[in-house]
Chains A and B, each alone.
Chain A
């Protein structure tokens, strides 16, 4: 075991925040050709989207890991973003392309969000009920559920009317490069709402790190707290998935990096660092790949590769204990 030098949480936070601001500035200004008014609005929209996504994924992952009491599972690993894609697909399939196209995308998104809270709550109960839950089994079933949702989505996409599929494609197949601008406002609002709900509960979440029973013993209403925080997680996953699509290992990567950098288990310290790291990775990574290395589409692949390796490392390390 490496020696534990008590790192100052504030120092880490300052460093991560400066890096985040630096990458945002670089993202906005580097390699700018053409009129500034165009560049700033064009890039500003993408920056806002990336920051919202970074925020949503970092917060939802850390909260989810606190709720489930481990550091391997994330909403994405458990197939929650695949569930959101399936929801989007089935909604378009049910309404028809014309029907779905006629509805305000923000309204549609809200409906999807609500359904997501309900369905993922159900999935969560299914996977985490009972006291003798066993982690490898939960990981496996989560991966299986993810595969199931993805297969169902692609099945629906194959049998659906080509015109409907076009509508769906415009709506649902977002990525880091192609962000759906109509939803940024709603997604950002949801992220702010999530913050307002979670902020007064951070101290209770800290206690939850001790495990459900101990938290109950210390006077935390764990059932209520889990329900609220879980709903917040579901909404945040919906927001990030609607904006940029699924990101399997991104949350895992930033959350575990944050745990590594911060010597404390306090959410008030871990969450800001996780958010900062997520912004650095997304905005900085996108900037590097696009402007410096000149690649077009590879960020999600790079992140999933690094994140996937991290996932395996954590899995092996926890298996050895």
Chain B
């Protein structure tokens, strides 16, 4: 369980995360949606202790993320942020192997190597595992970073806009992959998403953020509606239902 307790964060005068309190229990896929600048990425950074909140605290399985030793936390929680540039020249295999670092402290054994190979195969990069990252397309690199998070094998996996740079084929296969991750016993996937249809199709629960606050929270059928389009995203459009799934169609 991730417990977020009255977390606030401001940049200068702007309150980017405004007293957010949430509980994310174990299991399933949780999508976070909201307009640009709603504070989604900041909240994700605070949960994963990459950023300090100004007030409030975050507990992961009862452990305060700012006070728990990094290694302990890294085995429970993984995070992948948007930017995917690496200064050093690494192969896909090198990169994904870093995911095992919280478990082996840089001394990989056979089990680690197998898990790394499995993670690379899982994202469909096994044919090019020894290529360098700078020889990959944006989408391939993105998948390599997802494979690293897979190899980390944490109970809570956080992804910040993992579908950037991906065409619809790869976006869908990645969401299926997250779905499979979230369906494993005890594993939870939290994803910041932009595409409402993707969120509605794959997430069990959707959290809506606007101006640093949580303004909606629930199953896709409860959250994806006309109100969300007009009030939060300020677009005109319709929400239709196909086979029990909510589908957003914006007005031309």
Q: Do A and B actually bind?
A: yes
Which chain A residues border B87 with CB–CB below 8 Å?
Answer: 69-71, 209, 211
Minimum CB distance partner of B95 in chain A: A210
Minimum CB distance partner of B87 in chain A: A69
- Complex CA distance for A71 and B86, rounded to whole angstroms: 12
Whether the pair A218, B102 counts as a contact (CB closer than 8 A) is yes
Interface string of A54-97 (1 = CB under 8 A from B): 00000000000000011100000000000000000000000000
Is B245 in the interface zone, CB < 8 Å from A?
no
Whether the pair A218, B99 counts as a contact (CB closer than 8 A) is yes
Q: Are A210 and B81 also in contact (CB < 8 A) when A69-B87, A218-B74 are?
A: no
Whether the pair A210, B98 counts as a contact (CB closer than 8 A) is yes
Whether the pair B70, A216 counts as a contact (CB closer than 8 A) is yes
Q: How many residues of A contact B (CB 8 A)?
A: 26
Whether the pair B89, A265 counts as a contact (CB closer than 8 A) is yes
Interface-side segment among A148-156, A199-207, A302-310: A199-207
* Listed residue (A207, A214, A216) with the most chain B CB atoms within 10 angstroms of its CB: A214
- Complex CA distance for A4 and B86, rounded to whole angstroms: 18
- Complex CA distance for A220 and B102, rounded to whole angstroms: 8
**Minimum C-beta distance from B217 to chain A (A):** 25
Which chain B residues border A71 with CB–CB below 8 Å?
Answer: 87
- Complex CA distance for A210 and B89, rounded to whole angstroms: 10
**Minimum C-beta distance from B3 to chain A (A):** 20
Summarize A's interface: helix, strand, loop or mixed: loop
- Complex CA distance for A220 and B49, rounded to whole angstroms: 12
Minimum CB distance partner of B99 in chain A: A218
Interface string of B65-79 (1 = CB under 8 A from A): 000011111110011
Which chain A residues border B89 with CB–CB below 8 Å?
Answer: 259, 263, 265
Minimum CB distance partner of A69 in chain B: B87
Q: How many residues of B contact A (CB 8 A)?
A: 33
Q: Which residues of A (258-303) have their CB < 8 Å from a CB of B? A: 259, 263-265
Whether the pair A210, B106 counts as a contact (CB closer than 8 A) is no
Which chain B residues border A161 with CB–CB below 8 Å?
Answer: none
Whether the pair A219, B73 counts as a contact (CB closer than 8 A) is yes
Whether the pair B132, A4 counts as a contact (CB closer than 8 A) is yes
Is A217 in the interface zone, CB < 8 Å from B?
yes
Is B110 in the interface zone, CB < 8 Å from A?
no
- Complex CA distance for A46 and B215, rounded to whole angstroms: 71
Which chain B residues border A218 with CB–CB below 8 Å?
Answer: 74, 98-99, 101-102, 152
Which chain A residues border B94 with CB–CB below 8 Å?
Answer: 264-265
Minimum CB distance partner of A209 in chain B: B88
Whether the pair B88, A219 counts as a contact (CB closer than 8 A) is no
Is A221 in the interface zone, CB < 8 Å from B?
yes
Which chain A residues border B49 with CB–CB below 8 Å?
Answer: 216
Is B136 in the interface zone, CB < 8 Å from A?
no
Is A1 in the interface zone, CB < 8 Å from B?
yes
Which chain B residues border A220 with CB–CB below 8 Å?
Answer: 70, 101
Q: Which residues of B (52-108) have their CB < 8 Å from a CB of A? A: 69-75, 78-81, 85-90, 94-95, 98-99, 101-102, 105-107
Is B50 in the interface zone, CB < 8 Å from A?
yes
Which chain A residues border B75 with CB–CB below 8 Å?
Answer: 219
Residue of A202, A210, A264 touching B86 (CB-CB under 8 A): A210
**Minimum C-beta distance from B112 to chain A (A):** 13
Whether the pair B107, A217 counts as a contact (CB closer than 8 A) is no
**Minimum C-beta distance from A273 to chain B (A):** 15
Minimum CB distance partner of B79 in chain A: A217
Whether the pair B90, A217 counts as a contact (CB closer than 8 A) is no
Q: Which residues of A (201-241) have their CB < 8 Å from a CB of B? A: 202-204, 206-207, 209-211, 213-214, 216-221
- Complex CA distance for A171 and B95, rounded to whole angstroms: 47
Which chain B residues border A211 with CB–CB below 8 Å?
Answer: 85-87
Is B188 in the interface zone, CB < 8 Å from A?
no
Which chain A residues border B80 with CB–CB below 8 Å?
Answer: 217
Residue of A4, A206, A210, A219 touching B72 (CB-CB under 8 A): A219
Which chain A residues border B135 with CB–CB below 8 Å?
Answer: 1
Which chain A residues border B132 with CB–CB below 8 Å?
Answer: 4
Beyond the given pairs A203-B107, A218-B102, A265-B88, 10 more chain A to chain B contacts, judged by CB atoms under 8 angstroms and listed by A's residue number, are A4-B132, A6-B130, A202-B106, A203-B101, A203-B105, A203-B106, A204-B106, A207-B106, A219-B69, A264-B94
B residues apposed to A, CB below 8 Å: 48-50, 69-75, 78-81, 85-90, 94-95, 98-99, 101-102, 105-107, 130, 132, 135, 152
A residues apposed to B, CB below 8 Å: 1, 4, 6, 69-71, 202-204, 206-207, 209-211, 213-214, 216-221, 259, 263-265
A-B contact pairs, 5 of them (CB 8 A): A1-B135, A210-B88, A210-B98, A219-B71, A219-B75
